[in-house]
């Protein structure tokens, strides 16, 4: 501190030699202004702005990448590939620690509990999927022998790549279904990261065109008689109940004995105008702002989930509620992860015999 005062005093004396009427306080304020201005310019250069992501697919991927910086093992995200699928400006911002902390704080204010929700759901979804693939147990019930993994509406989901060693060791073939744009982008990026092209079969398709999807899966080598695990993440929220019922009928008729589906859904309480569910109103409004309004498919509690599954000829294996997600998040020391938004739950269900 003495050195700083000496330097500022020296600057003041230097100014007086040239006829400038300055004192140490004036010089100190001028130096402080320059430093603050420089810091603000640095922050602005990293700030990605409101258009950090164009849709929820990019947004969730940004959050998964953000989670890879966590120090706490309970909070640390497993998706190291996520960084390659987010906008360059977002990646630049998150790689700069002060901006990363600032953005995390801002997001928590705008979308309370969403970051914690994504961290907890990613980890628990991974555990559930791996348990099924390992022919282990899901919530105390024997898991099926799976030979195919199909990720519907895959987007920038990287599980097929992250699970590559596991899938190969259990001889499970992977299929992903996405739009033409996403398939092209994903293949380009992952090839650059050393992906073996023969490992994942990527299909250009849409869950709203099931006849076309059935044909494309068959052309890609999909065996409808084989026991299959279907992943359906961030999808039913945008569908009507009629369309979800049609999709589950498609899964049931195009998979073998003991096939499994893992899907998430919006809670009915989260969509109500006067909802008091933590983080729900902000999340639903945010989806609407992105042009992704929910389609009306919701559930209100475990009993309703179970009844609906039985009507579709599925049986419930595991139900991860908002309370289960919150219980997991409480294990972390990360303040931004510890509280989870209460708008979405997920289910693991098996085709009934």
Beta-strand relationship, 141-142 and 137-138: antiparallel
What pLDDT was estimated at residue 2? 44
Phi-psi region of 299 (alpha: psi -120 to 50; beta: other; left: phi over 0): beta
The alpha carbon torsion through 316, 318, 321, 327 (nearest 10 deg) reads 160
What pLDDT was estimated at residue 89? 84
pLDDT greater at residue 204 or residue 26: 204
343-347 mean pLDDT? 95
322: Cα separation from own chain's centroid: 16
Confidence check: pLDDT of 6 > 50: no
For residue 267, count other CB atoms closer than 10 A to its CB: 20
Print burial letters for 85-119: b (CB count within 10 Å at least 16), e (below 16).
bbbeebbebbebeebeeebbeebbeebbbbbbbbb
Length of the chain: 353
Exposed, middle or buried: residue 73 (CB in 10 Å: 0-12, 13-18, 19+)? exposed
Confidence check: pLDDT of 16 > 60: no
Beta-strand relationship, 344-351 and 260-267: antiparallel
Largest CA distance in the chain: 95
What pLDDT was estimated at residue 232? 96
**Of 78, 80, 75, whose CA–CA distance to 116 is shortest?**
75
- In this prediction, residue 331 has a pLDDT band, given cuts at 50, 70 and 90, of confident
Q: What angle do CA 231, 224, 264 make, to 5 degrees?
A: 15
Q: Tell me the percentage of the chain whose pLDDT exceeds 70.
A: 84
- What whole-number distance in Å separates Cα of residue 169 and Cα of residue 159? 15
What pLDDT was estimated at residue 241? 94
Print burial letters for 223-239: b (CB count within 10 Å at least 16), e (below 16).
eeebbbbbbbbbbbbbb
Confidence check: pLDDT of 282 > 80: yes
Confidence check: pLDDT of 10 > 80: no
240-250 mean pLDDT? 96
What pLDDT was estimated at residue 137? 44
pLDDT tens digit string along 119-143? 999 999 999 889 888 875 444 555 5
Say if residues 300 and 331 touch (Cβ distance below 8 Å). no
55-65 mean pLDDT? 91
pLDDT greater at residue 40 or residue 209: 209
Q: What angle do CA 84, 325, 343 make, to 5 degrees?
A: 85
Of these ranges, 44-53, 174-183, 336-345, the one predicted with the greatest mean pLDDT is 174-183
pLDDT tens digit string along 159-190? 999 998 999 888 899 999 999 999 999 999 98
Say if residues 161 and 189 touch (Cβ distance below 8 Å). no
**Of 138, 69, 126, 134, whose CA–CA distance to 97 is shortest?**
69
Of these ranges, 78-87, 98-107, 332-341, the one predicted with the greatest mean pLDDT is 78-87
Instruction: Name 72's Cβ contacts closer than 8 Å, sequence gap at least 6.
Output: 332, 333, 334, 337
64-75 mean pLDDT? 92
What pLDDT was estimated at residue 229? 95
Helix (H) or strand (E) holding 321: none
- What whole-number distance in Å separates Cα of residue 183 and Cα of residue 346? 25
The model's pTM is 0.84
Confidence check: pLDDT of 52 > 80: no
What pLDDT was estimated at residue 315? 94
What pLDDT was estimated at residue 43? 56
Instruction: Read off the tokens for 116.
Output: 């914690």
Average pLDDT, the chain: 85
- In this prediction, residue 1 has a pLDDT band, given cuts at 50, 70 and 90, of very low
């Amino acid at each position: 501190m003495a050195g700083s005062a000496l330097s500022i005093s020296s600057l003041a004396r230097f100014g007086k030699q040239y006829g400038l009427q300055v004192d140490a306080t004036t010089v100190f304020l001028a130096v402080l202004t320059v430093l603050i201005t420089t810091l603000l310019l640095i922050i602005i250069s990293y700030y990605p702005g409101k258009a950090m992501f164009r849709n929820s697919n990019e947004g969730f991927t940004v959050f998964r990448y953000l989670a890879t910086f966590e120090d706490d093992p309970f909070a640390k995200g497993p998706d190291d590939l996520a960084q390659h699928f987010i906008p360059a400006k977002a990646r630049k911002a998150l790689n700069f620690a002060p901006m990363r902390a600032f953005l995390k704080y801002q997001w928590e204010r705008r979308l309370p509990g969403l970051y914690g929700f994504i961290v907890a759901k990613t980890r628990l979804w991974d555990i559930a999927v791996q348990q099924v693939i390992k022919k282990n147990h899901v919530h105390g019930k024997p898991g099926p022998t799976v030979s195919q993994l199909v990720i519907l509406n895959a987007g920038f989901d990287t599980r097929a790549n992250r699970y590559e060693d596991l899938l190969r060791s259990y001889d499970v073939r992977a299929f992903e279904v996405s739009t033409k744009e996403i398939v092209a982008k994903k293949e380009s990026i992952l090839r650059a990261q050393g992906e073996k092209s023969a490992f994942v079969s990527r299909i250009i398709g849409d869950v709203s065109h099931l006849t076309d999807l059935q044909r494309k899966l068959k052309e890609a080598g999909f065996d409808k008689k084989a026991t299959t695990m279907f992943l359906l993440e961030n999808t039913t929220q945008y569908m009507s109940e009629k369309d979800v019922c049609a999709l589950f009928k498609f899964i049931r008729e195009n998979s073998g004995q003991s096939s499994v589906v893992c899907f998430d859904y919006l809670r009915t309480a989260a969509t109500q105008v006067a909802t008091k569910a933590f983080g729900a109103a902000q999340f639903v409004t945010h989806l609407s702002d992105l042009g992704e309004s929910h389609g009306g498919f919701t559930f209100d509690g475990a009993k309703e989930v179970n009844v609906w599954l039985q009507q579709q000829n599925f049986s419930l294996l595991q139900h991860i509620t908002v309370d289960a997600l919150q219980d997991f998040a409480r294990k972390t020391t990360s303040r931004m992860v510890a509280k989870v938004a209460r708008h979405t739950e997920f289910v693991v269900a098996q085709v009934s015999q």
